[in-house]
Structure 1
Amino acid sequence: MTQERLWQDLDPLWTDPRTLSALLCGSAAAIILLKWLGQRQIQQKMEEARRMRDLALERMEKAVCRFKKENPGAQTAHILSLPMVELVEKLKEGSLSLESVLYSYMGKALEVTQEVNCVIDFIHGCEDQLQKLKKQKEKGLLYGIPISIKDHINCKGHVSSGGMVKFLGQVKEEDSVIVQVLKSQGAIPFVKTNIPQTMINYDCSNLIFGQTLNPLNHKKSPGGSSGGEGALIAGGGSILGIGSDVAGSIRLPSSFCGLCGLKPTGDRISDGISVLAVTGMLGPMARDVESLALCMKALLCKEMFRLDPTVPPIPFNEEVYSSSKPLRIGYYEGDGYFQPSPSMRRAVQQTRKLLQEAGHTVNIVDPNLKSQFNTYRLPVLVKRILAIILKPIVSVWTSHLHHNTVCHLLCLPLQVYCTEFIAKWRKLGLDVILCPALGPAFNHAATSYTNLYNVLNFPAGVVPVSTVTRADEEELKHYRGHYGDPWDKRLKEVRAVGLPVAVQCVALPWQEELCLRFMKEVETLTHGMRRNV
């Protein structure tokens, strides 16, 4: 049969309304069925992931119950109260057993996650790691320390979901470099923690495992994207955690939950991630600066440099961290874009005063963000119109350019900006910068105070220095913001008396030790300002 004859025979079918209607209905039904099947498959994957989480937590609970039954006199409360540096010492000298510490934190982690939903997996290999440590003669810098790990960091035998259905069921065959190094230093990774979907969010919620709450106030966010880490450590269920930071994802949860957190320079530690031209980094979160410093000492070791040759072999500089030389500190109270809350501004002012009284030189500096002002000051309606006009143009443009080309085009102006920023820093003779950290814990947030230092690729840390007072809340009633946009309006709705407020400490690239030294100074000087942080 020729093609022409075939079309002639089919022509009456296409012109028959009943046949055409049946074909359309059949096609529509098929599409609906396929869509339903796809949604059902997604739902089943999520249900299976939740079931696996529940089974993991049950296994964890059984292990804790078994230990308690066999060791009724375990000093759980005492163990949980010890600072990490002291805990390591007691483990090394043998006055505390590896089992007592691990199972104490496992039990507390279970309590915390029942309250705030922060743990999404039990790293069952932790018990094997414990037994391995007992047989080793050498005791690493983190000997016996239980560590929590952010969901997306790979652990052998476990899924790194990223909060997305797409990655469910994809069990990792080996540990990431950072997990291998932590284990080589005697640490015991024991749980994985919740994150927001895709991790690009200042909150901590996804459709698979749900919302994580702030343990200090369940009506508030723990921050994101390392919100599970922030919630677990703040609740006492972990003493050291590993998060990641692309726009503030370590520093925001640390600020919201009253913790210390460090975002290192890109590539100082292995397993960093990049979003276009911005380098994201893994980094530690803990209750105090000494714990962060000990973690960095442990990570910046020969094993890290061996496993990942792309990491510069720069060991931790103890001399810089331990120095008592007075610092030359630049500071600013606002970035000109997001007006700081009264408590944020007060935190910087009081910290600045304490630093000056301690003998440091403190000078106000221009945050160097004015190049952005013209765009920010556009009326909201104009911004929306421009967004509608430019969206298809940008979409077409990016779809025709290779990722590396986009990065190259973005990097050029960023490199210029970074060079100018460093030049001004050098001209002022600064060692470090003190500036606001977003806080207190919001339900909605803007991240300009943190993401600047991702763009610049500077090490930056957060230290809690105070708590919100009733006077701060009264002053907030008169808050106007710079632009009257949704962020400014939402900030006035914040009710946060008693919640922690932090400051941010910044150093030049590759100067994590100086950043930590500055953080330690701030932590020590502001001890009297903190109330139950």
Structure 2
Amino acid sequence: MIQEMLTQLLPELEVDPRTVSALLCASAAAVAALNWMQRRRIQEKMEEARRMRDLGLQRMEKAVQRFKQQNPGADPSRILSLPLVELAEKLKEGSLSAESVLYTYVDKALAATRELNCVRHLIPECEEQLQDLQGQKEKGLLHGVPVSIKDHMSYKGHLSTCGFAPFLGPPEQEDSVLVQVLKRQGAIPFAITNVPQSLFNYDCSNAIFGQTLNPWDHRKSPGGSSGGEGALIAAGGSILGFGSDLGGSIRLPSSFCGLCGLKPTGKRLSLSGVTAPVPGLLSVTGTIGPMARDVDGLALCMRALLGEDLFQLDPTVPPIPFNEKLFCASTPLRIGYYETDSYFLLPPCMRRAVRETRELLQEAGHTLVPFAPPRVDYVVNELFMRGAFADGGSTLTDLFAQDLVDPGLKPQVNCYRIPSLVKKILALLVRPLFPRLAWHLDALCGVRSAKAMWQHQACVLAYRTEFIAKWKKLQLDVVLCPVLGPAFTLGYPGKLLAAVSSTMLYNTLDFPAGVVPVTTVTETDEEELLHHRGHYNDAWDRRLRKAVEGAVGLPVAVQCVALPWQEELCLRFMKEVETLACERKKCV
């Protein structure tokens, strides 16, 4: 067949079609060989990264055993049971040694990662920092506190991979600003935690280091993209960790794992030295923030970070110190609330959590006001998705082309790879039956020109103005609302990207938002889930029901939101919710 075609196409040339056919076959074979070689190089880089991780774990295992032999009477359970604020106080006054605390948490982290695969790498240099602390006269607020950091927060001498094989290059040349400030405050970064490939997913798996599991139920995801952090802290292997949040990546693992997590306003903490798979993204505001077991731990962390060290190291961060007066205020709050954003109806347990928390807040003397966020469908598709994928997803697809795609990400990646024209045609075809998928496909086409990009930015600003005007008209201090949960069954996050509308909204607005666990999934919740139809009763609603089933006993959280630069008010509100929820549990 090929020879006949070539004979017809090349009648004027004195070329044997069989020769051309042979050349084409040889070229195809060469391309196949190059592809094989590229995949082999990728696999070799992955194997080397895994080998280095294993060596690091073995080195720290030996250090822990050495400490145990030298200190046979050490009581790890006492250290692990202390809340962060109390632990920090005992370290500062000297009633606990930084050495005993560090090795206790390293030991617990080793056990946690053997079970859950949550640690990407332990940091052997933490032992050197431990020695440096002994000579310090001035003790920072986090003196001796072991902390974990997400994979892409640079630590000198270690990789920042974003879960991508193409990023398995030379190690970082210097610490990120966050790590530098932590060290100046006496904290000891000791673990780098696992992430999903690309960070654009709220599961936690990549082709290099594998799948991280939820400590509550190994069939479930820990959330993402700060999933390694969520799993490690929830398993007791870290007392304070740091994640990043572009669409919910601090709040979702906090929700899935039963933790407290804070997404600050975009520039409240420094992003200098934090690796991004899509650098220069401005339409949606990413940020870094703390994750801990309680709100007081988050407040202590922000108190330690928001000081002169941070402002000097990164002059682009507004020099706004921690507002103690705002955090400690006790005047009643005027709180807006909603149980659904009218775009993605969350499972019954998540709406129940908002309802019960609203009742507790009312009983405590706060004023609760119904609030409906405007046009969330527009925010998710036109503002968030079109902004985050302004290039049509080409930056990410170029990276995936140099890597082996993690199985959990294949549904997302396949969608990115569809040519824009085909996406638009598919959007037109499916719109009558599946409007949300049509909006999603159209948004993934991105923007077509600089002018369209400017218009998009103007739309984001206009929506923010509209939202704040509605907030101010109701004279709200804060807002109580749902967060996605409970923990999804493994494999589902990559099939339900748009389900994170509850968190995407506040990245688009660039408002501080935190998550607080308040209850757990009950048998009644599970029974009501059987009748869950969602707002659209489409394939996504049915898939959501499947994703969260079998969750009895898993954590259920709520989301607390404040206006930009009011992290202290957000934390104060979170603390009020946490206190009331804890009191309720004691009474039940």
**TM-score between both structures, scaled by the size of structure 1:** 0.93
Alpha-carbon offset, residue 154 of structure 1: 0.2
Q: Where does residue 378 of structure 2 map in the other structure?
A: 372
Q: Where does residue 147 of structure 2 map in the other structure?
A: 147
Q: Where does residue 70 of structure 1 map in the other structure?
A: 70
Q: Where does residue 508 of structure 1 map in the other structure?
A: 563
| 1:26-85 superposed Cα distances (whole Å, 9 cap, x missing partner) | 212211111111111011011111111111111111111111111111121110110010
Point out the more displaced range, 312-321 or 481-490: 481-490
CA–CA separation in structure 2 for the residues paired with 1:468 and 1:22: 65
CA–CA separation in structure 1 for the residues paired with 2:142 and 2:190: 14
2:510 to 449, 457, 468: 457
Q: Where does residue 314 of structure 2 map in the other structure?
A: 308
| Distance of aligned partners of 1:131 and 1:386 in 2 relative to their CA distance in 1, 3 Å threshold | closer
CA–CA separation in structure 1 for the residues paired with 2:256 and 2:293: 13
| Distance of aligned partners of 1:287 and 1:80 in 2 relative to their CA distance in 1, 3 Å threshold | same
Asked if the contact 2:380/2:504 (under 8 Å) is kept, the reply is: no
Gaps of 5+ in 1: 1-9
Asked if the contact 2:379/2:505 (under 8 Å) is kept, the reply is: no
Q: Where does residue 204 of structure 2 map in the other structure?
A: 204
1:480 to 512, 516, 533: 533
1:277 to 274, 278, 283: 283
CA–CA separation in structure 1 for the residues paired with 2:178 and 2:585: 33
Given residue 294 of structure 1, which amino acid in structure 2 is its aligned partner?
L
| 1:248-288 superposed Cα distances (whole Å, 9 cap, x missing partner) | 00000000000000000010110177634011000000000
CA–CA separation in structure 2 for the residues paired with 1:173 and 1:383: 44
2:519 to 457, 462, 466: 466
Asked if the contact 1:193/1:229 (under 8 Å) is kept, the reply is: yes
Q: Where does residue 551 of structure 2 map in the other structure?
A: 496
Q: Where does residue 438 of structure 1 map in the other structure?
A: 484
| 1:446-502 superposed Cα distances (whole Å, 9 cap, x missing partner) | 100011000000000000000001011111111111112233112322110000000
CA–CA separation in structure 1 for the residues paired with 2:354 and 2:49: 43
CA–CA separation in structure 2 for the residues paired with 1:388 and 1:517: 40
| Distance of aligned partners of 1:28 and 1:271 in 2 relative to their CA distance in 1, 3 Å threshold | same
Asked if the contact 1:246/1:275 (under 8 Å) is kept, the reply is: no
CA–CA separation in structure 2 for the residues paired with 1:13 and 1:373: 59
Is 2:461 the counterpart of 1:415? yes
CA–CA separation in structure 2 for the residues paired with 1:524 and 1:386: 41
Asked if the contact 1:276/1:407 (under 8 Å) is kept, the reply is: no
Point out the more displaced range, 408-417 or 305-314: 408-417
Q: Where does residue 183 of structure 1 map in the other structure?
A: 183
Is 2:289 the counterpart of 1:286? no
CA–CA separation in structure 1 for the residues paired with 2:105 and 2:337: 38
Q: Where does residue 263 of structure 2 map in the other structure?
A: 263
| Distance of aligned partners of 1:112 and 1:388 in 2 relative to their CA distance in 1, 3 Å threshold | closer
Asked if the contact 1:156/1:172 (under 8 Å) is kept, the reply is: yes
Asked if the contact 1:108/1:237 (under 8 Å) is kept, the reply is: yes
Q: Where does residue 55 of structure 2 map in the other structure?
A: 55
Asked if the contact 1:464/1:530 (under 8 Å) is kept, the reply is: no
Is 2:26 the counterpart of 1:26? yes
| Distance of aligned partners of 1:386 and 1:454 in 2 relative to their CA distance in 1, 3 Å threshold | closer
**Secondary structure of 1:295 counterpart:** helix
Q: Where does residue 298 of structure 1 map in the other structure?
A: 304
Given residue 517 of structure 1, which amino acid in structure 2 is its aligned partner?
R
| Distance of aligned partners of 1:170 and 1:495 in 2 relative to their CA distance in 1, 3 Å threshold | same
CA–CA separation in structure 1 for the residues paired with 2:565 and 2:67: 43
Q: Where does residue 363 of structure 1 map in the other structure?
A: 369
Point out the more displaced range, 420-429 or 522-531: 522-531
Alpha-carbon offset, residue 408 of structure 1: 3.0
Task: Report matched runs for 1:107-118 at 5 Å.
Answer: 107-118=107-118
**Secondary structure of 1:172 counterpart:** coil
CA–CA separation in structure 1 for the residues paired with 2:571 and 2:509: 18
| 1:221-245 superposed Cα distances (whole Å, 9 cap, x missing partner) | 0000000000000000000000000
| 1:322-356 superposed Cα distances (whole Å, 9 cap, x missing partner) | 11111010100100011121111110011001101
Is 2:372 the counterpart of 1:326? no
Asked if the contact 1:337/1:373 (under 8 Å) is kept, the reply is: no
Q: Where does residue 42 of structure 1 map in the other structure?
A: 42
Point out the more displaced range, 474-483 or 22-31: 22-31
Asked if the contact 1:102/1:146 (under 8 Å) is kept, the reply is: yes
Q: Where does residue 392 of structure 2 map in the other structure?
A: none
| Distance of aligned partners of 1:388 and 1:162 in 2 relative to their CA distance in 1, 3 Å threshold | closer
Is 2:404 the counterpart of 1:349? no
Asked if the contact 1:276/1:406 (under 8 Å) is kept, the reply is: no
Q: Where does residue 222 of structure 2 map in the other structure?
A: 222
Q: Where does residue 574 of structure 2 map in the other structure?
A: 519
CA–CA separation in structure 2 for the residues paired with 1:75 and 1:407: 58
CA–CA separation in structure 1 for the residues paired with 2:177 and 2:380: 43
Given residue 51 of structure 1, which amino acid in structure 2 is its aligned partner?
R
Alpha-carbon offset, residue 388 of structure 1: 7.0
Task: Report matched runs for 1:73-88 at 5 Å.
Answer: 73-88=73-88
Give the root-mean-square deviation of aligned CA atoms. 2.2
Asked if the contact 1:99/1:130 (under 8 Å) is kept, the reply is: yes
CA–CA separation in structure 1 for the residues paired with 2:112 and 2:377: 44
| 1:114-145 superposed Cα distances (whole Å, 9 cap, x missing partner) | 00101011112111111111100000000100
Gaps of 5+ in 2: 1-9, 383-429, 494-498
| Distance of aligned partners of 1:374 and 1:425 in 2 relative to their CA distance in 1, 3 Å threshold | closer
| Distance of aligned partners of 1:416 and 1:161 in 2 relative to their CA distance in 1, 3 Å threshold | same
CA–CA separation in structure 2 for the residues paired with 1:77 and 1:354: 33
Q: Where does residue 447 of structure 1 map in the other structure?
A: 500
**Secondary structure of 1:492 counterpart:** helix
Given residue 102 of structure 2, which amino acid in structure 1 is its aligned partner?
L
Asked if the contact 1:467/1:530 (under 8 Å) is kept, the reply is: no
Alpha-carbon offset, residue 528 of structure 1: 4.0
CA–CA separation in structure 2 for the residues paired with 1:25 and 1:187: 60
| 1:410-433 superposed Cα distances (whole Å, 9 cap, x missing partner) | 210010110011111111110000
**Secondary structure of 2:139 counterpart:** coil
CA–CA separation in structure 2 for the residues paired with 1:530 and 1:486: 36
Asked if the contact 2:431/2:437 (under 8 Å) is kept, the reply is: no
2:471 to 396, 400, 425: 425
Alpha-carbon offset, residue 438 of structure 1: 1.0
**TM-score between both structures, scaled by the size of structure 2:** 0.84
Alpha-carbon offset, residue 12 of structure 1: 10
Given residue 448 of structure 1, which amino acid in structure 2 is its aligned partner?
S
Alpha-carbon offset, residue 17 of structure 1: 3.0
| Distance of aligned partners of 1:438 and 1:14 in 2 relative to their CA distance in 1, 3 Å threshold | farther
Asked if the contact 1:354/1:525 (under 8 Å) is kept, the reply is: yes
Q: Where does residue 409 of structure 2 map in the other structure?
A: none
**Secondary structure of 2:359 counterpart:** helix
Alpha-carbon offset, residue 530 of structure 1: 4.9
| Distance of aligned partners of 1:268 and 1:375 in 2 relative to their CA distance in 1, 3 Å threshold | closer
Alpha-carbon offset, residue 169 of structure 1: 2.6
